[in-house]
Amino acid sequence: MNTIHTFKVEGIEDEEIDFAEFAGKKIIVVNVASECGFTPQYQQLQEIFEEFEDKLVIVGFPANNFGGQEPGSNEEIRAFCTRRFGVTFPIAAKIDIKTHPVYQWLTKKSENGVLDSQVTWNFQKYLLDEQGHIVKYLPSSVSPLDDEILEWLNN
């Protein structure tokens, strides 16, 4: 079975994000958008990233799939994240959720070996263990500071 550690993606500043480098850390993969009602979750994601940086990586994937809420270019998205929320966790280059290989893997049990899912809105969170396997996914409405996420991070 493949793990998320087999993927390399383009970063928002043309750098490479190699998931193999995150082996041994928990990972939260989240699709993000700058003009969404859930956009303030960037701040909460940054908070847990800083608090748990020794054992957690968050990777944001900007996408314009839901409500046209991420219309910006990579440069505009990076500037927004930095200026408004002080984001320092990795952000991928803007993607299409429906076709991106990481999201194909995340949403198909035949690929990830754990579960089938569907991304239904911005800020859906996928929690992955230290070996790169999916633990669960949480809907947009679940705060990054929710007890369920904090308990998972503390275990």
Residues carrying an active site annotation? 36
Residue type, 119: V
Strand partners, 28: 58, 127
Give the Cα separation of 28 and 126 in Å (integer): 5
Residue 12 burial (C-beta neighbours within 10 Å; 0-12, 13-18, 19+): buried
Give the Cα separation of 29 and 95 in Å (integer): 13
Long-range pairs, 18-24, Cβ under 8 A, ≥24: 19/59, 19/132, 22/57, 22/132, 23/130, 23/131, 23/132, 24/130
